[in-house]
Amino acid sequence: MTDRHLTDAQIASALRAHLPQTAPAGTRRALLGAVAVTEQQRPMLPVVGWLSNAGQDRRGGLALLLVVGLVALLAGLAAAGAWQAIQPRRVLAPQGGAGGWIAYDTPRRGFLSQIHLVRMGQPERAFITDPVNGATCPAFSPDGSLLAYAIGDEIVVSRFASDGSLGAEVARYPLKFTPHRCPVWSPLGDALAVFASTNRIEILRPGGSGTSLAIGDATMLDAPGIQLVWSPRADRIAAATDRGILIVPLDGGASTLLPDSTV
Amino acid sequence: MSNRPQSVEAMAAKPVEVPAEEALVRRARLGDIAAFDLIVLGRLDRCYRLAWSILLNDADAADAIQDALLSAWRQLPRLRDPSAFDGWLNRIVANSARMARRGRGRVREIPVGSLGLDDDETVTEVRRDQPSTGGSPDRLADRDSIGRAFDRLRADERAILALHYVDERPVAEIARSLGIPTGTAKWRLYAARRALERALEAEA
């Protein structure tokens, strides 16, 4: 086989187009602050002022020795604590899908979230990314063939193959979406429920008309961290709120609040 | 407490007299985090590109840079020659990216924007959205081919090509960055270039 010969200019031009020229703005801010944030959490060393006087009398040698030992001890403790101050990625919303895949997202302050796809016992992994908004809240359909996730203020549903590849989009729903209030599949896999920031539960039907049904009670669904659970027959949704469990029928009937009797 | 300013980027944007680089390095060595951030500010994109060339995705590159910056800050008092800062920092970044790479398997990145609506095609390859940089379709296709060939090279080959062809770093600094003798750096650069040409031929 004859190798193709490239000029310096060709290589430079192609690599400049291929490699990122700048770090993403959010990443730049997070990286520039990372050292300062971490170092601010290290304990101060109050013994530094002694050092200037330590050699002035005969006890200076002993004092200096004590100071050095104390500084070394504090520095060791500080270093151990400072490593913990770097904010690690957190694994959120792990979900199982076709072919033994597990999807999760990793929100982290200052960094774009991305969805990770991993398989036990397999070296391969994949990311789902969006360079502007990040990707969060993966949710596999019950048969594992569809993957729903959030991109910015949209819920996207895409096909998912057992080899871990993401296929075409099936549906895309613009919402006033609050990050990490993730879509939840119905037991039959024909609908998604998501708590929207407009104090409503949106029912999204990827296989249907693509319209959404707004239900719920604005006075009830105002709690952060609300969780949605479908009933086995997919005719009701239970919403865990800070006032109790709100049972919301999908036929438009009145919602029922089951108060938290422990409060 | 640190005397770090509110916005380092805003500070750097002001048309004030910027202290000499080596003076900044000396200040940072004495514990001035603001000076350290100023030094890093002008090098962040280059560090990011180096980490990205090894890891081939944004999130891992950001993680590697974060670890590298903290490591650089901690090790800075041991840097004897402030003028060697660039090569020294690159070396920390490259090591951090290599360490990150060891801890993971093969990775595919699936940019969401590349998926078509109502289209049964399946995305099976690594792709990265890039803004158009102009040029004829043939030249753009050539660039894409070279980019794909680049992704198939070994991490060390990608790093040395990025340092030489994109960042235009002198071979001596590349050698310091990768922790190898200058002669070895020259040979590796040649070998990486040949590997790129072979990968491009395989691509065709």
Render A148-211 in DSSP notation, one character per residue: EEEETTEEEEEEE-TTS-EEEEEEEEE--PPTT---EE-TTSS-EEEEETTTEEEEE-TTTT--
Inter-chain CB proximity A111 and B62 less than 8 Å: yes
For residue A212, give the H/E element and its range. strand A212-215
Q: Does A38 touch chain B (CB under 8 A)?
A: yes
Higher-pLDDT residue of B195 and A63 is B195
Instruction: Please provide the average confidence, as pLDDT, over all residues in chain A.
Output: 71
**Structure confidence at residue B195 (pLDDT):** 93
Interchain CB distance below 8 Å, A18 and B120:
no
Total residue count of chain B as it appears in this document: 204
Rounded mean pLDDT, B133-145 = 64
Tell me if B146 and A122 make a contact (CB, 8 A cut-off).
Answer: no
Sign of CA dihedral A85, A88, A94, A99: negative
For residue A106, give every residue at least 6 positions away whose Cβ sits within 8 Å of its Cβ, in sequence order, or none. Answer: A89, A90, A91, A92, A113, A114, A116, B59
DSSP for A94-153 reads EEE-GGGEEEEE--BTTB---EEEEETT-S-EEEEE-TTT-EEEEEE-TTSSEEEEEETT
DSSP B117: B
Residue A180 has pLDDT above 60, yes or no: no
Asked if A148 reaches chain B (Cβ–Cβ under 8 Å), the answer is no
Closest chain B residue by Cα to residue A206: B118
Cβ pair A168, B117 in contact under 8 A: yes
How close A85 gets to chain B, by Cα (Å)?
11
Strands, E, within B28-164: which ranges?
107-111
Residue B20 has a CB neighbour count (10 Å cut-off) of 10
CA distance to partner chain A, nearest, from residue B15 (Å): 20
Contact by Cβ (8 Å): A216, A255: yes
Of B52, B111, B198, the CB nearest to A20: B52
- pLDDT given for residue A59 in this prediction: 56
Size of interface A-B (CB pairs under 8 A): 199
Confidence at residue A104, expressed as pLDDT on a 0 to 100 scale:
84
Instruction: Check CB contact under 8 Å for B107 and A4.
Output: no
Which chain B residue's Cα is nearest to A24? B58
Chain A: give the shortest CA distance to residue B24, in Å: 16
The pLDDT, as a whole number, for residue A250 is 84
Q: Do A18 and B128 touch (CB under 8 A)?
A: yes
Q: Which of B35, B97, B105, B22 is nearest to B66 (CA)?
A: B97
CA A170/CA A158 separation, integer angstroms:
5
Q: Mean pLDDT, to the nearest integer, of A78-103?
A: 58
CA distance A218 to chain B (A): 33
Over residues A148-166, the mean pLDDT reads: 83
- B12-37 pLDDT, tens digit per residue, is 444 444 457 888 888 888 888 888 88
In angstroms, the CA A246 to CA A138 distance is: 24
Lowest mean pLDDT, pick from A55-64, A71-80, A171-180, B164-173: A55-64
Indicate yes or no: CB of A161 within 8 angstroms of CB of B147: no
pLDDT digits (tens, 9 = 90+) for B40-65: 888 999 999 999 999 988 878 888 89
Asked if B110 and A10 come within 8 Å (Cβ–Cβ), the reply is no
Would you place residue B114 in the very low, low, confident or very high pLDDT band (cuts 50, 70, 90)? very low
Q: Do residue A31 and residue B116 have CB atoms under 8 angstroms apart?
A: no
- Report pLDDT digits (tens) over A117-141: 888 777 777 778 776 777 888 889 8
Kindly give, in sequence order, each residue whose CB lies less than 8 Å from that of residue A59, ignoring residues fewer than 6 positions away. none
Angle value at C-alpha A41, between A36 and A42, nearest 5 degrees = 100
ipTM for this prediction: 0.74
Distance from CA of A4 to the nearest CA of B (A): 5
> Each residue of A43-89: pLDDT tens digit?
433 333 333 333 444 555 666 667 667 666 666 655 544 433 444 45
**Stretch (H or E) spanning A215:** strand A212-215
Whether pLDDT at B132 is above 50: no
| Residue A88 three-state SS | coil
Contacts of B97 in chain A (CB under 8 A): none
